[in-house]
Amino acid sequence: MAFSLVGLVVCSPLLLLAAIGVRLSGPGPVLFLHRRLGREFLPFSVYKFRTMTAGADKSGLPLTAGGDSRITPFGKFLRKTKLDELPQLVNVLKGEMSIVGPRPEVEKYVELFKEDYRVILSVRPGLTDYAAIAYRDEEAVLAGFADHEEAYRSEILPAKIKLYMEYLGDLSFFTDMKIIFATAARVLGVS
């Protein structure tokens, strides 16, 4: 929680610029709240900067593939740089998420792998983990499939679950630090 508070203060100029960019990119709220399942299957709202046209969550899948027309031009920039995820520091501050942990998922996909998620959701979901690093450009991966949702259910999510279990099997401060540095390197384009 302390790290998220420091992160919010340090990132406040970026948060402000991103909020202005979202506001100027079209009508709709600056933040997008999306319901996910957290620790012990408790639902919560994940905060993100809005990267899609207003009301886009009501049309189409909860997944996006490269070239999705619902994504705004500024939203593409936010997604590529992962700046759209910065408001989740508020989720960390509220105790709903951790800095490192399995990424939170929507209920419909959790239900498909409920037994795995009994283990996965024994910890708080996080901003980053092995799967977030491996699938940093998930939209491009999904774009390679004709049926995006089927690809997510049958290939991508099972691969993520395997990475979540790997993380849980090696849970430690050093693992978390390794993931934080690897995430920073990927975001900054160093690795």
Write the DSSP assignment of 101-150 as a string of letters.
Answer: SPPPB-HHHHHHTHHHHHHHTTS--EEE-HHHHHTTTHHHHHHTSSSHHH
pLDDT tens string, the chain, 191 residues long: the values are 777 888 888 888 999 999 999 999 888 899 999 999 999 999 999 999 999 887 777 766 666 777 777 888 898 899 888 899 999 999 999 999 999 999 999 999 999 999 999 999 999 999 999 999 999 888 888 888 888 889 999 999 999 999 999 999 999 999 999 999 998 888 776 65
Q: How far apart are CA 151 and CA 146, in angstroms?
A: 8
Task: Tell which residue, 164, 14, 158, has the closest CA to residue 82.
Answer: 14
Q: What is the C-alpha to C-alpha distance for residues 36 and 105, in angstroms, rounded to an integer?
A: 5
pTM: 0.86
Q: Which domain, by its residues, includes 19?
A: 2-187
As for how many domains the chain has, the answer is: 1
The backbone torsions φ and ψ at residue 99, rounded to the nearest 5 degrees and listed phi first, read: -65, -45
